[in-house]
Amino acid sequence: MVSCGVVGSSLLDKIDRLFECNVGELVSLPQIVVVGDQSSGKSSVLEGLTGLPFPRESGLCTRFATQITFRRSKAPGISVSIIPAKNSNLEDKVKLHGWKKSDLDSLNPTTFANIMAEVVQKMGIGCPEEGTSKTFSNNVLRLEIAGPDQEHFSVIDVPGIFKRTTSGLTTKDDMAMVDGMVNEYMSNPRSVMLIVVPCNVDIATQEILERAEDLDPEGIRTFGILTKPDLMDKGSEDSAISLVEGKTHQLRLGWHILRNPGQSELSCSPKERLDLEKNFFSHEHPWSTLDEGKLGIEPLRDRLQEILGDHVRREFPKVKAEISQMLKQAERTLKSLGLKRQSQTEQCQYLMDMALAFQNVVSHAVHSDYSRSNILTANKKLRIATEAVNRGQKFADAMERYGQTYDFMSYAETLNKMEVNSETNYTDGIREEGEREEEEGVVEDDVEEEEGITDDDPDSIPDFADAGSVTADIDIRMEDDHIDIQDVVHKNTRVSLRNSEEIFLWLKKEYRESRGFELGTFDASLLSVTMKQQAAKWRDLALGYISDIISLVHSFILGVLDYVTPNDRVREGIRTYLLDEITKMYQHAMSQTEFLVSVELDGTPATYNRYFNETLEKLRQRRLRLRLQNCAFTHQKLGEVVRLNDIIQRHSLSSEDHAVLEIHDILSSYYTVARKRFVDCVRMQVADTLLVTGSQTPLTLFSARFVTNMTREALEDVAGEDAIMKRRRDDLEKKIARLHEGKRIVG
């Protein structure tokens, strides 16, 4: 062979090494592919190019692709191996990769035939009559011939396409398989196609040539080989001559013509073949008139080396770039799978990283440091501190507006009750004066100022309340529940507010049903009874509030898990293992709320808060002031005074009404103290401590400690890779290893 140059030789060597390490399965590599119809003389062309004695009689060499590589080395040697097809299963890949013949001195016809028979057996190729239907294989036989006299050259032979099946040998499935195999090699944009066409057929009928034109419209990688010129009828040689001279069916790389050995010449040596071929082209007309560079096997070798060298130099930068690009993509894909998690240590570390990321988001969320977390910046619903505080405020507003069963009487209404039960017109004057002063804003309500709410203050009404109706119903729940917690939280109900006109009748009824022989007073247990009825809606409001906090917390947990856990199976496993402990925490929060409700409603009313006594005293003084307001007159020196006789002339209420009003004032004063205490306890002891900000809340459960306490079985169940993931990771790691080797080769 003629040398293709030092640079070309170096690049060809790199391409051969890329094929050797199977990078050719990943990246299209420059190569020469010999294609043609069956009986086109393709085997003779290959034998002439390589000097290898392909066993013709068995046809075994045409049942799979064969890659033949020549390279220069100090020590001569021949090695034979099999490159498994891309779609081979793992068992076949291991078996085929493990088969190899190396350090062969030569390939004589007998040795070559024996090797081919063994290759056929390893690939599982048979015939229908032998009990198998696999006549062809997508595996590739690789022959490497090295030596100090060899030049770098590589060629691939693929089975010849055929359009008719042979009974007992080939089927339509075989026909389709070979057609697909040939098309795959020809479609490779880096393949130089050697189109083998016999001279004694009509060139217009050759489908292989038409296919080459479709795949290579510019003709930069199609080289035509004409065979069997000696079989043409005398006088019909002009069609072949026109092709070789470029007059018809022009190819950019041109046409070349070979003489195949006849049936009686198959046993000739390579030298004898060359002599026969040279003699034919030198003496036979019109072949002797053609350019010698386009005739015979030796000029063909030189021409192919030139073509392959030019092609490799043109395509090599693209191959190098494609290997780098594919390597980066494979590494990104492998990284997206997360840490390898096949051992217990790997699984623990994988979950540990997720737990730390989870707790990082929790910390930012609980401390309202939303700008430091992308997910909290993007999803405002996950801002758990803000959501919890806002829901707590709505709970406090609902308790203030709708917590009592009956609305307490205003002071004007209290005065009316006193007047209705008075027998003198004098009280009418007091009522008129009291109503007039209240309408003019003269009478101030110290207690309502302490409360921070008035009937006319729209800002004090919760945003979910119907401020236009004192009897409006409201929902106790504001959040939708995830299916995980539907059995834990309180169901949604509606509560309503009854007006203040009913409270006097109710208290009078309770008084009458509980009074004894006491004179001018009432039984102490009556406060417990009325308080329990007046605060009966606290349970629903409190449980609705805590249920909403649970729902917010659970949505936060699931949302952050989605963020820190890209793998659906792992995320579902974590959620499943967390759910039992989280549910217990939710149930404890609901139980604690029930406990606080029980303390307020089932226990004995009690408080050390002096606000209770101060409020009660203000109520009593206000009632006295309202009764005497109309009797007062202004003294020049003393200011507003009331005559003693006017005080003495006042007619007191009946003992029953007096007791009922006293009960009302005591209940009102205590209810306000208890309500504020209850709201704070529910928020601080349950919502905050048990669910959001405490040291042991559902938000703190998925942590490093939780991961380290998981059993080996739990780690495997949650974080272990499934079979599909393991195969994908293994394939990616092998792909990356090959690409790294390819990158090292190309430099």
Residue 137 and residue 66 in one domain? yes
Tokens coding 585: 């925490």
Within-domain flag for 170? yes
- Phi, psi of 89, rounded to the nearest 5 degrees: -75, 170
pLDDT of 454 over the 90 cut: no
User: How far is residue 331's CA from residue 343's CA, in Å, rounded to a whole number?
Assistant: 21
Sign for the CA dihedral angle at 692, 697, 702, 703 comes to positive
Q: What is the 3-state secondary structure (H, E, C) of 545-614?
A: HHHHHHHHHHHHHHHHHHHHCCCHHHHHHHHHHHHHHHHHHHHHHHHHHHHHHHHHHHCCCCCCCHHHHH
Kind plus residue range of the DSSP H or E element containing 464: none
Q: Angle at the Cα of 234 (from 229 to 236), degrees rounded to 5?
A: 75
Percentage of the residues of the chain whose pLDDT score is greater than 90:
34
Q: What is the pLDDT of residue 430?
A: 34
For 284-298, 397-411, 433-447, 637-651, which range has the lowest pLDDT when averaged over its residues? Answer: 433-447
pLDDT at 426: 34
Q: What are the tens digits of pLDDT across the range 573-586?
A: 999 999 999 999 99
Between 325-339, 364-378, 548-562, 670-684, the lowest mean confidence (pLDDT) is in 325-339
Residues 264, 299: one domain? Answer: yes
Q: Which backbone phi and psi does 308 adopt, to 5 degrees?
A: -65, -40
Residue 736 lies in a domain: no
Domain boundary among 299, 332, 365: 332
pLDDT value at position 331?
93
Same domain membership, residue 402 and residue 309:
no
290 and 387 co-located in one domain:
no
pLDDT band at 596 (very low <50, low <70, confident <90, very high): very high
413 and 293 in one domain?
no
Q: Do 74 and 200 lie in a common domain?
A: yes
| Max Cα–Cα distance, the chain, nearest Å | 160
Separation between Cα atoms, residue 391 and residue 671, nearest integer Å? 22
* Residue 708 placed within a domain: yes
**What is the per-residue DSSP string for 629-690?**
GGG-EEETTTEEE--HHHHHTPPPPPHHHHHHHHHHHHHHHHHHHHHHHHHHHIIIIIIIII
324 and 359 in a single domain? The answer is no
The confidence band for 499, taking pLDDT boundaries of 50, 70 and 90, is low
- Can you read off the two tokens belonging to residue 341? 């998690």
pLDDT at 469: 37
Cα four-point dihedral sign 642, 648, 650, 655? positive
Phi (first) and psi of residue 704, to 5 degrees: -60, -40
Residue 338 falls inside a structural domain: no
pLDDT in tens, 21-75: 878 778 888 888 999 888 788 888 888 888 887 766 544 446 888 888 887 778 8
Domain that holds residue 321: 6-332
CB-side exposure of 530: number of CA atoms within 13 Å? 31
Distance CA 702, CA 694 (A): 14
Over 90: is that where the pLDDT of 675 sits?
Answer: yes
Question: In this structure, are residues 225 and 194 in contact, taking their beta carbons and an 8 Å threshold?
Answer: yes
Tell me the CATH number at 309.
3.40.50.300
> Is the same domain home to 61 and 186?
yes
Read off the pTM.
Answer: 0.60
* H or E segment and range at residue 520: none
- Model confidence at 357: pLDDT above 60: yes
- Do 442 and 479 belong to one domain? yes
pLDDT at 652: 59
Tokens of 24: 């050719």
Residue 568 CA to residue 561 CA, distance in Å, equals 10
Domain boundary among 282, 301, 332: 332
Residue 746 belongs to some domain of the structure: no
The verdict on 567 and 640 lying in the same domain is yes
In a domain, 509, yes or no: no
Q: Is residue 80 part of a domain?
A: yes
| Positions of E strands within 205-343 | 222-227, 255-257
**Would you state the pLDDT for residue 470?**
44
Q: How many domains does the chain have?
A: 2
Same domain for 361 and 289: no
Mean pLDDT of the chain, nearest integer: 82
Domain co-membership, 564 together with 632: yes
User: What is the distance, to the nearest Å, from the Cα of residue 90 to the centroid of all Cα atoms in its chain?
Assistant: 28
**What's residue 2's pLDDT?**
38
Quick: pLDDT tens for 606-634.
Answer: 888 888 888 888 877 777 777 777 778 88
In a domain, 147, yes or no: yes
